[in-house]
Structure 1
């Protein structure tokens, strides 16, 4: 299930940012070795350019 780690990281980050009041205690995903919070995930296109949600669409099949 290692392929699900980026999804888990993103869901954890969104939950921490939007589901709790400022200062409210909650779990957080941290680096096992250092115990530090993870850096924000940055979504990039195939050329390495940073993209935002507004830059994407869902191609239905």
Structure 2
């Protein structure tokens, strides 16, 4: 991987970079990621509680997922 110059980075401000296709993330994938990172917060791993106690209607994926 080649280093990126500061000029190239500055020219990228406000532009889309590294766009990838949408990906469906299942609860199973979220649970596996929670196991791998030891992050079992209810908002990720407990669909019933997340639906009841958050405005999102269910669990949300971890930021890095």
TM class, shorter-length: under 0.3
The answer to which structure has the higher helix fraction is 2
Larger relative CO (CA 8 A, sep 6+): 1 or 2? Answer: 2
Greater Cα radius of gyration, structure 1 or 2: 2
TM-score by length of 2: 0.26
